[in-house]
Amino acid sequence: MEGGEALLVGILSDTHNDHLMAREAMRLFDHLGVAHLIHCGDVGGEAVFDELVGRPLTFVWGNTDCAANGTLAYIESVGFTLPSGVPTAVTLDGKRFAVFHGHERGFDTAIDDLDVDVICHGHTHVARDDLVRGTRIINPGALHRARRTTVASYDTETDRLQYFDIKVG
């Protein structure tokens, strides 16, 4: 989506194949009316991708993800586009996003090197919302091995970011 009406973006990270937590996050995102998902890596495997099917998705590989041939074929078979590089770039409602996991070379200097509106990342398992020289830096937190398991929604029109706690059961 290059422009047009505002949309709500659902941002998640570090699911580490916890498909039940991913399912709960999708229930929330569906309830909120999220129009596009960004997964900031450490997806963990096909079980999590199964929960994301049917929704527009931008994602990156994390440091624990294994992009094996069978996984790549599966991801493409369910209609997702494989990441084309680091960072993965997407423009949603005129906002330019750069998506990292957070462990990649160049991540620490991305704020100086990229001309984007929003940088999304995971890896630390800790939520973050910073504004650095006009670029918003968002970490949605994590859905696995985190003191507080969270996801985030971002409204492209109002620039509003909200965090949500996710629990199973």
Query: What pLDDT, in 10s, does the model give residues 85-133?
Result: 889 999 999 999 999 999 998 898 888 899 999 999 999 999 999 999 9
Distance CA 151, CA 164 (A): 5
Tell me the per-residue pLDDT of 4-51, one tens digit each, with 9 for 90 and over: 566 999 999 999 999 999 999 999 999 999 999 999 999 999 999 999
Q: What average pLDDT does the chain have?
A: 93
Distance CA 44, CA 41 (A): 8
Find all residues with CB under 8 Å of 95, minimum gap 6, and list them: 117, 118, 156
Find out whether 93 and 5 touch, Cβ atoms under 8 Å: yes
- Residue whose tokens read 């890596």: 41
Q: pTM for the full model?
A: 0.94
Per the rule left: phi > 0, alpha: psi between -120 and 50, beta: everything else, 14 is left
- Domain 8-165 fold is Purple Acid Phosphatase; chain A, domain 2 (3.60.21)
**pLDDT score of 68:** 77
Distance CA 169, CA 167 (A): 6
